[in-house]
Amino acid sequence: MLGAIIGDIVGSRFEFNNIKAKTFEFFSQDCEFTDDSIMSLAIANAIMLTWQEIENQSESSHETTQHPLDHPVFFQTLSINTIKTMQDLGRRFQSSYGNHFLMWLQKSDPQPYNSYGNGSAMRISPIAYIARNEHELLQLGETVTAITHNHPEGIKGAQATALAIYLALQGCNKTVIRERIIAEYYPLNFTIDEIRPTYQFDESCQRTVPQAIQAFLESESFEDAIRIAVSVGGDTDTLAAITGSIAGAYYTISEAFEEQALAYLEPELFSLYNQWQDFLNSHDLSKD
């Protein structure tokens, strides 16, 4: 998730002023966190809340000890909690939310609105750190995505991103990641240099997720991945957040980058990030 937050912050100042180049100041006073970071943290919070609720429920009912993800109501509870945490943080932290999502945030009985926007992919990274296998990963991905983005392309974009992150965490090389994405999700029949001159702002998964994955595949380091993603142009904060979520699982992120990026977060969001890190460590889960 840290990679997504860094990508979001670095890409934020170029969203409406594309640079189309890799040479730029990485962090600046014009950078800020956006909905990409807010909603990633909301999903992380939903996972932590659900995990605790399931553990408490099992303990109070004296159920046989089992992994929370094996509990029959885990995914239903996660869906409910994801709505709650996204609405809570979304209402309290202003950002450039899309119109449909903004309306969804305010509803007392929010329903999915058939979106295939790239918001489904920008926020997905936390699930890759708790999934024990690919089947579970895809189920988690659909659960936290379909509450808003229930269009097949919206779910596809989230699951493709989650799979790339998951494979990176499993130690797979880029050839394996690339082949899996091509076989199951997107053709990736382009290079960033080929599309950069004509690529324009596009908020769909179909025109953001493949480009973000390709930016990661062409990179040589975490920083290079973010620079490539920003250089594509378009919806730079989201594109870089998606690329960063994969690159953060594949490469090592320096402590300096972590410290600089987290300094942009509001105290409550910073606290949520630390709670997530503690959760991953205390449950012996993968680190980002």
What is the pLDDT averaged over residues 92-102? 92
Look up tokens 């480009």; give the residue.
211
**Run of H or E residues at 221:** none
Which residues touch 58 (CB under 8 Å, ≥6 apart)?
65, 66, 68, 71
> Which pTM value belongs to this model?
0.96
Q: Say if CB 6 and CB 249 are below 8 A apart.
A: no
Q: DSSP 3-state assignment of 117? A: strand
Domains of the chain, CATH where assigned: 2-20+33-107+125-271 (1.10.4080.10)
Read off φ and ψ for residue 117, nearest 5 degrees: -70, 160
Task: Fill in the DSSP letter of residue 200.
Answer: -
CA distance 90 to 239: 20
CA distance 29 to 128: 31
CA distance 231 to 218: 13
Q: In the structure encoding, which two tokens stand for residue 233, read together?
A: 């142009």
Q: Is the pLDDT of residue 285 over 90?
A: no
pLDDT tens profile 75-91 = 999 999 999 999 999 99
Q: In the structure encoding, which two tokens stand for residue 122, read together?
A: 């920008």
Look up tokens 């329903």; give the residue.
111
Counting DSSP H helices and E strands in the chain, the numbers are 14, 0
Q: Say if CB 192 and CB 226 are below 8 A apart.
A: no
C-beta atoms surrounding 266 within 10 Å: 13
pLDDT tens profile 176-227 = 999 999 999 999 999 999 999 999 999 999 999 999 999 999 999 999 999 9
Task: Fill in the DSSP letter of residue 13.
Answer: T
